[in-house]
Structure 1
Amino acid sequence: MSAYITAQITIHDRETYRKYEAGFMDIFAPHGGKLLAVEEAPMVLEGDWDCTRTIVAEFPDRESALAWYRSDDYQTLMQHRLAASTGSIALLSGLPT
Protein backbone atom coordinates (compact mmCIF):
# COMPACT_ATOMS: atom_id res chain seq x y z
CA MET A 1 0.00 0.00 0.00
CA SER A 2 1.39 3.40 -0.95
CA ALA A 3 2.47 5.88 1.70
CA TYR A 4 2.68 9.64 1.46
CA ILE A 5 4.85 12.27 3.09
CA THR A 6 3.34 15.72 3.36
CA ALA A 7 5.38 18.67 4.52
CA GLN A 8 4.59 22.29 5.24
CA ILE A 9 7.86 24.20 5.38
CA THR A 10 8.63 27.84 6.12
CA ILE A 11 12.01 28.69 4.63
CA HIS A 12 13.88 31.55 6.32
CA ASP A 13 17.36 30.98 4.78
CA ARG A 14 17.12 30.13 1.08
CA GLU A 15 20.89 29.82 0.60
CA THR A 16 21.23 27.11 3.25
CA TYR A 17 18.02 25.45 2.08
CA ARG A 18 19.56 25.14 -1.41
CA LYS A 19 22.22 22.85 0.12
CA TYR A 20 19.38 20.59 1.24
CA GLU A 21 17.74 20.70 -2.18
CA ALA A 22 21.04 19.92 -3.94
CA GLY A 23 21.39 16.55 -2.23
CA PHE A 24 17.73 15.63 -1.82
CA MET A 25 16.94 13.56 -4.94
CA ASP A 26 20.10 11.46 -4.67
CA ILE A 27 18.88 10.19 -1.30
CA PHE A 28 15.13 10.26 -1.96
CA ALA A 29 14.88 8.38 -5.28
CA PRO A 30 16.70 5.16 -4.26
CA HIS A 31 13.99 4.60 -1.62
CA GLY A 32 11.29 4.64 -4.29
CA GLY A 33 10.24 8.20 -3.51
CA LYS A 34 8.32 10.22 -6.08
CA LEU A 35 7.56 13.92 -5.70
CA LEU A 36 3.90 14.56 -6.51
CA ALA A 37 3.75 18.27 -5.67
CA VAL A 38 6.12 21.03 -4.59
CA GLU A 39 4.22 24.29 -4.26
CA GLU A 40 5.30 27.75 -3.17
CA ALA A 41 1.89 29.39 -3.57
CA PRO A 42 -1.00 26.94 -3.19
CA MET A 43 -4.56 28.09 -3.72
CA VAL A 44 -5.88 28.05 -0.16
CA LEU A 45 -9.50 26.96 -0.13
CA GLU A 46 -10.04 27.08 3.63
CA GLY A 47 -8.14 28.22 6.71
CA ASP A 48 -4.64 29.63 7.02
CA TRP A 49 -1.62 28.39 5.08
CA ASP A 50 1.38 30.21 6.49
CA CYS A 51 4.19 28.06 5.11
CA THR A 52 6.34 29.04 2.14
CA ARG A 53 6.54 25.54 0.62
CA THR A 54 4.22 22.55 0.61
CA ILE A 55 5.40 19.11 -0.51
CA VAL A 56 3.56 15.87 -1.23
CA ALA A 57 5.66 12.77 -1.90
CA GLU A 58 4.73 9.16 -2.57
CA PHE A 59 6.54 5.98 -1.55
CA PRO A 60 5.70 2.37 -2.41
CA ASP A 61 4.93 1.68 1.26
CA ARG A 62 5.45 2.96 4.82
CA GLU A 63 8.62 0.93 5.23
CA SER A 64 10.25 2.64 2.24
CA ALA A 65 9.23 6.08 3.49
CA LEU A 66 10.61 5.39 6.96
CA ALA A 67 13.80 3.84 5.54
CA TRP A 68 14.39 7.08 3.60
CA TYR A 69 13.59 9.37 6.53
CA ARG A 70 15.64 7.39 9.04
CA SER A 71 18.61 6.77 6.73
CA ASP A 72 21.97 8.12 7.86
CA ASP A 73 22.34 10.00 4.57
CA TYR A 74 19.01 11.78 4.97
CA GLN A 75 19.54 12.52 8.64
CA THR A 76 22.82 14.23 7.71
CA LEU A 77 21.29 16.16 4.80
CA MET A 78 18.28 17.12 6.91
CA GLN A 79 20.51 19.28 9.09
CA HIS A 80 20.56 21.88 6.28
CA ARG A 81 16.75 21.92 6.19
CA LEU A 82 16.53 22.25 9.96
CA ALA A 83 19.02 25.14 9.92
CA ALA A 84 17.17 26.94 7.12
CA SER A 85 13.51 26.35 7.89
CA THR A 86 10.79 25.27 10.26
CA GLY A 87 7.94 22.99 9.41
CA SER A 88 5.65 20.07 9.96
CA ILE A 89 6.03 16.70 8.26
CA ALA A 90 3.58 13.80 8.40
CA LEU A 91 3.51 10.24 7.08
CA LEU A 92 0.13 9.18 5.68
CA SER A 93 -1.04 5.70 4.71
CA GLY A 94 -2.63 5.35 1.31
CA LEU A 95 -6.02 3.76 0.89
CA PRO A 96 -6.27 0.10 -0.10
CA THR A 97 -6.86 -0.44 -3.80
Structure 2
Amino acid sequence: MSEAPAYVVANLIVHDQAEYLNYEKGFFPILKKHGGSFFTFDDNVKHLEGTDPREGRMVIFQFPSADAAEAWYNDAEYQALSEHRRAATTLVSLTLVHGLPPRG
Protein backbone atom coordinates (compact mmCIF):
# COMPACT_ATOMS: atom_id res chain seq x y z
CA MET A 1 0.00 0.00 0.00
CA SER A 2 1.30 3.47 -0.89
CA GLU A 3 1.81 6.21 1.65
CA ALA A 4 -0.82 8.89 1.97
CA PRO A 5 -0.10 12.24 0.38
CA ALA A 6 0.40 15.30 2.56
CA TYR A 7 -0.35 18.96 1.99
CA VAL A 8 1.28 22.10 3.26
CA VAL A 9 -1.08 25.05 3.61
CA ALA A 10 0.49 28.47 4.01
CA ASN A 11 -1.38 31.63 4.93
CA LEU A 12 0.75 34.74 4.58
CA ILE A 13 0.51 38.45 3.98
CA VAL A 14 3.00 39.77 1.41
CA HIS A 15 4.23 43.25 2.27
CA ASP A 16 7.38 43.38 0.08
CA GLN A 17 6.64 41.98 -3.37
CA ALA A 18 10.20 42.45 -4.69
CA GLU A 19 11.71 40.48 -1.79
CA TYR A 20 9.00 37.82 -2.09
CA LEU A 21 9.94 37.33 -5.75
CA ASN A 22 13.45 36.37 -4.58
CA TYR A 23 11.79 33.62 -2.54
CA GLU A 24 9.59 32.47 -5.42
CA LYS A 25 12.54 32.25 -7.84
CA GLY A 26 14.29 29.61 -5.74
CA PHE A 27 11.23 27.88 -4.33
CA PHE A 28 10.10 25.49 -7.06
CA PRO A 29 13.38 23.58 -7.59
CA ILE A 30 13.53 22.81 -3.86
CA LEU A 31 9.86 21.82 -3.81
CA LYS A 32 10.41 19.41 -6.73
CA LYS A 33 13.56 17.99 -5.11
CA HIS A 34 11.30 16.62 -2.35
CA GLY A 35 8.59 15.31 -4.69
CA GLY A 36 6.35 18.28 -3.99
CA SER A 37 4.01 19.96 -6.41
CA PHE A 38 2.25 23.29 -6.41
CA PHE A 39 -1.49 22.85 -5.94
CA THR A 40 -2.99 26.37 -5.83
CA PHE A 41 -2.88 29.84 -4.33
CA ASP A 42 -5.50 32.50 -3.73
CA ASP A 43 -5.06 36.15 -2.79
CA ASN A 44 -8.79 36.63 -2.22
CA VAL A 45 -9.89 33.89 0.15
CA LYS A 46 -13.38 34.13 1.59
CA HIS A 47 -13.72 33.30 5.27
CA LEU A 48 -16.97 31.44 5.83
CA GLU A 49 -17.12 30.64 9.53
CA GLY A 50 -15.20 30.56 12.80
CA THR A 51 -13.21 32.98 14.91
CA ASP A 52 -9.92 32.97 12.98
CA PRO A 53 -10.44 34.92 9.76
CA ARG A 54 -7.67 34.42 7.22
CA GLU A 55 -5.99 37.34 5.56
CA GLY A 56 -3.64 37.56 2.63
CA ARG A 57 -2.53 34.70 0.42
CA MET A 58 -3.37 31.04 0.91
CA VAL A 59 -1.00 28.60 -0.81
CA ILE A 60 -1.31 24.80 -0.97
CA PHE A 61 1.45 22.35 -1.95
CA GLN A 62 1.19 18.57 -2.21
CA PHE A 63 3.86 16.03 -1.26
CA PRO A 64 3.90 12.25 -1.69
CA SER A 65 4.04 11.82 2.11
CA ALA A 66 4.27 13.69 5.38
CA ASP A 67 7.91 12.63 5.62
CA ALA A 68 8.63 14.26 2.25
CA ALA A 69 6.87 17.47 3.38
CA GLU A 70 8.92 17.59 6.58
CA ALA A 71 12.13 16.87 4.65
CA TRP A 72 11.32 19.82 2.37
CA TYR A 73 10.69 22.15 5.30
CA ASN A 74 13.83 21.04 7.15
CA ASP A 75 16.06 21.17 4.04
CA ALA A 76 18.95 23.58 4.76
CA GLU A 77 18.63 25.03 1.26
CA TYR A 78 14.92 25.74 1.83
CA GLN A 79 15.56 27.24 5.26
CA ALA A 80 18.16 29.61 3.78
CA LEU A 81 15.76 30.58 0.99
CA SER A 82 12.88 31.05 3.43
CA GLU A 83 14.68 34.06 4.91
CA HIS A 84 13.41 35.97 1.84
CA ARG A 85 9.85 34.89 2.71
CA ARG A 86 10.33 35.85 6.33
CA ALA A 87 11.61 39.29 5.31
CA ALA A 88 8.82 39.85 2.77
CA THR A 89 5.75 38.52 4.56
CA THR A 90 3.89 38.13 7.78
CA LEU A 91 3.24 34.42 8.19
CA VAL A 92 -0.19 33.74 9.63
CA SER A 93 0.23 29.95 9.55
CA LEU A 94 2.13 27.11 7.91
CA THR A 95 0.30 23.83 8.40
CA LEU A 96 1.00 20.20 7.46
CA VAL A 97 -2.19 18.28 6.62
CA HIS A 98 -2.15 14.50 6.20
CA GLY A 99 -4.11 13.20 3.21
CA LEU A 100 -6.17 10.05 3.04
CA PRO A 101 -4.38 6.85 2.06
CA PRO A 102 -5.11 5.47 -1.41
CA ARG A 103 -8.08 3.13 -1.60
CA GLY A 104 -7.34 -0.33 -2.73
Question: With structure 2 as the length reference, what TM-score do the two structures score?
Answer: 0.85
1:31, CA displacement in angstroms?
0.7
Say whether 1:92 aligns with 2:97: yes
Structure ID, larger Rg? 2
Aligned residue among 48, 58, 66 for 2:62: 58
Aligned to 1:16: 19
Say whether 1:79 aligns with 2:83: yes
Aligned-residue CA RMSD (Å): 1.2
User: Where has structure 1 moved over 2 Å in runs of 4 or more?
Assistant: 42-49
SS of the aligned residue for 1:49 comes to: coil
Aligned to 1:5: 8
Counterpart CA distance in 1 for 2:6 and 2:80 is 23
Any unmatched runs of 5+ in structure 1?
none
Counterpart CA distance in 2 for 1:71 and 1:96 is 25
Question: With structure 1 as the length reference, what TM-score do the two structures score?
Answer: 0.91
Counterpart CA distance in 1 for 2:38 and 2:49 is 24
Identity of aligned pairs, percent? 39
- Give the number of aligned pairs: 96
Query: What amino acid sits opposite 1:18 in the alignment?
Result: L
1:34, CA displacement in angstroms?
1.1
Say whether 1:69 aligns with 2:73: yes
Q: Deviations over 1:32-84 (max 9, x none)?
A: 1111111111233335222x210111100011101111001100000000011
Any unmatched runs of 5+ in structure 2?
none
